[in-house]
């Protein structure tokens, strides 16, 4: 491989996390993204962005970052209270139904993320290959079939809508559990574990999909 080829083989990965919301002092997703960035050794070029917990602002910030940096992979990460495992989201739904207002006070109910756009998009990550890669780290991981109806799902949908028709760019969304510091009693995951999972996932993002059962009955 020539130097020029090698340079071309280096991908740009955009990794995003969210600011705190719901009266939490931190957001586990941003803590994990920061942990990944501080230990990053390449070879991929890593860009990180903290997104606002805002229906309007998150998608705008994401669109700007994608336009500026033309990443090959976009991985958005959010925090999910009540989960034990890293959840690789499979489906982005064109629906907002806010249980609590976003950080700008906006709480839309039963409106589309993008009016007139398809009902749903699938992640363009090889979800099962990513599951296998994360399993290899020993961190608990599962396929998730719903990213909810709040800012994370809306951002995931906006991302997949943006990347629709750009087959060269892979994008997806991952939820991480809250950190042990956030949770007195209930499921949590150490930031270092969430970060390890994210690194494995990013490395698998360009892989071919594999056949592996990840379904649920209910
Ligand atoms: N989790 C929320 C929004 C921001 C975050 O980290 C969600 O799951 O929608």
What ranges do the domains of the chain cover? 3-204
pLDDT-based confidence at 216, cuts 50/70/90?
A: confident
Judge whether 92 and 32 are in contact, CB under 8 Å: no
% pLDDT > 90, the chain = 91
Specify which residues 78 forms β-bridges with: 175
Residues 89, 95, 98, 102, CA torsion sign: positive
Task: Kindly report the pTM of this predicted structure.
Answer: 0.95
Q: Is the pLDDT of residue 4 over 70?
A: no
3-state class (DSSP) for residue 85: coil
Any atom of ligand 1 within 6 Å of the Cβ of 150: yes
Report d(CA 180, CA 31) in Å as an integer: 12
Report d(CA 201, CA 195) in Å as an integer: 10
Look up residue 208 and give its two tokens.
Answer: 């071919």
For tokens 């130097």, name the residue.
3
Closest to 75 in 3D by CA, of 131, 155, 151: 155
3-204, which class in CATH? alpha beta
Report d(CA 27, CA 44) in Å as an integer: 25
Predicted local distance difference test score (pLDDT) of residue 1: 47
Report d(CA 215, CA 218) in Å as an integer: 9
- pLDDT tens digit sequence for 27-80: 999 999 999 999 999 899 999 999 999 999 999 999 999 999 999 999 999 999
Report d(CA 206, CA 71) in Å as an integer: 12
Q: Is the pLDDT of residue 153 over 50?
A: yes
Which residues, 6 or more positions from 140, have their beta carbon under 8 angstroms from its beta carbon? Answer: 84, 85, 86, 189
Predicted local distance difference test score (pLDDT) of residue 2: 54
Nearest CA to ligand 1 atom 7: 152
- pLDDT tens digit sequence for 87-120: 999 999 999 999 999 999 999 999 999 999 999 9
Selected catalytic residue, list 68, 89, 130, 181: 89
From 22, 49, 78, 98, the mutation candidate for ligand 1 (largest count of ligand atoms within 8 A of CB) is 78
More confident residue, 149 or 6: 149
């Amino acid at each position: 491989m020539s130097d020029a080829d090698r340079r071309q083989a280096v991908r740009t990965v955009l990794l995003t996390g969210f600011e705190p919301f719901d009266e939490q002092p931190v957001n586990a997703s941003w803590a994990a993204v920061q942990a990944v960035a501080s230990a990053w050794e390449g070879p991929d070029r890593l860009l990180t962005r903290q997104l606002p917990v805002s229906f309007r602002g998150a998608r705008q910030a994401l669109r700007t970052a994608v336009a500026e940096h033309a990443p090959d992979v976009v991985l958005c990460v959010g925090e999910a209270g009540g989960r034990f495992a890293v959840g690789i989201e499979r489906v982005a739904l064109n629906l907002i139904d806010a249980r609590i207002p976003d950080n700008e006070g906006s709480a839309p109910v039963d409106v589309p993320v993008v009016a007139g756009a398809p009902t749903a998009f699938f992640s363009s990550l090889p979800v099962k290959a990513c599951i296998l890669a994360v399993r290899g780290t020993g961190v608990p991981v599962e396929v998730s079939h719903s990213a909810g109806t709040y800012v994370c799902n809306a951002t995931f949908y906006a991302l997949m809508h943006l990347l629709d028709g750009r087959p060269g760019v892979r994008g997806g969304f991952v939820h991480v559990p809250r950190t042990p510091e956030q949770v007195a009693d209930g499921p949590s995951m150490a930031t270092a574990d969430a970060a390890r999972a994210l690194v494995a996932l990013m490395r698998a993002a360009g892989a071919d999909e594999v056949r592996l059962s990840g379904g649920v009955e209910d």
